Amino acid sequence: MFLKKRARPTHADAAAEFDNLLRDHVPALYRAAYRWTGAVDRAEDLVQELLVRLYPKLDELRGLDRVRPWALRVMYRIFVDQVRRERSSPVQFGADAREDSGEDEGHEFIDPAQGPVELLEQQLTQERVVAAWESLGEEHRVVLSMHDIEDYSLPELSEIMGVPIGTLKSRLHRARAKLRDLLATERFQSLDRV
């Protein structure tokens, strides 16, 4: 009995298989990247970098039961590296932290007589949520995005982010608190273009 020699896949075959394995996941990965980065071009770059890193791992990809969490984990590491590099840069760009003078005519005053849930509901216009989201730090955006939006469980997140569950719980708690704080106390202008 002879063991049949396995044909070496051609480059075209490998590319087609890679496409087949990843194509369905790219939109979801892109949306995650967009939530983390807050910008179309950054999300595109992040996903592109992810795919470039995954292509040489085709053999590993082939054997996976669930491709998306695995890809998400790789993307998260790329993102963390990018953020670290940016923070070490001497030149940083970002939205201005808006001083709350309370004099802006668009400022919405919150009725203190209302209960906390009602207050929160009042603050949750989509525009304000988006503005608050953009003001969150990357760490908070990532954990809220994966847990509260994409519904990954804490054990799954622990695997993806390489962080203990206890740390994740407190990070999630801080992220929600920060978001509530931003919604409650900040005056949001449309975070658009100059």
Residue 4 CB, nearest approach to another protein (Å): 27
Q: How far is CA 176 from CA 50, 67, 85, in A?
A: 28, 28, 26
Q: Annotate each residue in 115-154 with x if it binds another protein (CB under 8 A) or - if it does not, as one string.
A: xxx--xx--x-x--xx--x----------x---xx-----
Q: How far apart are CA 38 and CA 16, in angstroms?
A: 31
Q: How far apart are CA 133 and CA 145, in angstroms?
A: 10
Binds another protein (CB under 8 A): choice among 1, 6, 8, 92: 92
Residue 38 CB, nearest approach to another protein (Å): 7
> Of the two residues 114 and 162, which places its CB atom closer to another protein in the complex?
114
Residue 143 CB, nearest approach to another protein (Å): 12
Q: Does the CA dihedral 57-60-63-64 come out positive or negative?
A: negative
Q: How far apart are CA 192 and CA 106, in angstroms?
A: 16
Query: Comparing C-alpha atoms, which of 16, 77, 75, 82 is closest to residue 51?
Result: 75
Neighbouring C-alpha atoms within 13 Å toward the C-beta of 175: 21
Helix (H, G, I), strand (E, B) or coil at 90: coil
Q: Which stretch binds another protein (CB under 8 A): 51-59, 60-68, 69-77, 160-168?
A: 51-59
Residue 45 is a binding residue for another protein (CB under 8 A): yes
Provide the binding-site residues for another protein, judged by CB under 8 A. 11, 14-15, 18-19, 22-23, 26-27, 30-31, 34-35, 37-42, 44-45, 47-49, 51-52, 54-55, 86, 89-96, 98, 115-117, 120-121, 124, 126, 129-130, 133, 144, 148-149, 176, 179-180, 189-194
